[in-house]
Amino acid sequence: MEFAIIAPLLFALLLGTISGGIALSHKNSMTNAVREGARLGATLPDSGTWATSVQSRVDEIAGNDLSTAQICVELAVKTASGETTVRQLPITCSSTTYGPEPSMPVGVDIGDCVVKVRARRAGVDRLEAVLVSRALTLDADAVARFERGGTGSCG
């Protein structure tokens, strides 16, 4: 009799733990892929295919769990009044589609550029428990100083 009362709670806990672990694994994979993409973007020479190369690499490292439509790549320069986006892929990287924009890191001088990579995976992962199910939105972002041959400038 006691098992009949406790079993649903145990199964809900077990299912929630498993689905939460899977979602955490996807989040860690996304975070690693975005971080590696920012590193790649920081060292790649500036070219017409720079952002596409970074986007493809993030998708590849994430195990093709992300589509290129879920990955935003930006090259931003710090100005006296804040920052200006120099190059962006896709054309607009809205915060509703790609998550909040990462801030410029501390210690970046005026005129220096940074690579910002963000990804958002919405509604694919779910946290499941026997009677409860919730869609999860996974966000990841990374920022790296754009080196381009060690000059640290872009344009």
> Which residues partner with 75 through β-bridges?
87, 115
pTM, to two decimals: 0.82
Flag whether 14 is in a domain.
yes
Flag whether 151 is in a domain.
no
Q: In this structure, is the dihedral angle defined by the CA atoms of residues 65, 66, 68 and 69, taken in order, positive or negative?
A: positive
Flag whether 150 is in a domain.
no
Flag whether 36 is in a domain.
yes
Mean pLDDT of 73-88: 84
Mean pLDDT of 98-127: 86
In this predicted structure, the answer to whether residue 40 has a pLDDT above a threshold of 90 is yes
DSSP string covering 25-75, please?
A: HHHHHHHHHHHHHHHHHHHSPP-TTHHHHHHHHHHHHTTT-S-GGGEEEEE
Residues spanned by the domain of 96: 2-145
- Pairwise CA distance, residues 131 & 64, whole Å: 31
In this predicted structure, the answer to whether residue 52 has a pLDDT above a threshold of 70 is yes
Flag whether 153 is in a domain.
no
State the total domains in the chain: 1
How long, in residues, is the chain? 155
Flag whether 69 is in a domain.
yes
Flag whether 84 is in a domain.
yes
Instruction: Provide the greatest CA pair distance for the chain.
Output: 73
Flag whether 152 is in a domain.
no
Q: What is the pLDDT of residue 153?
A: 53
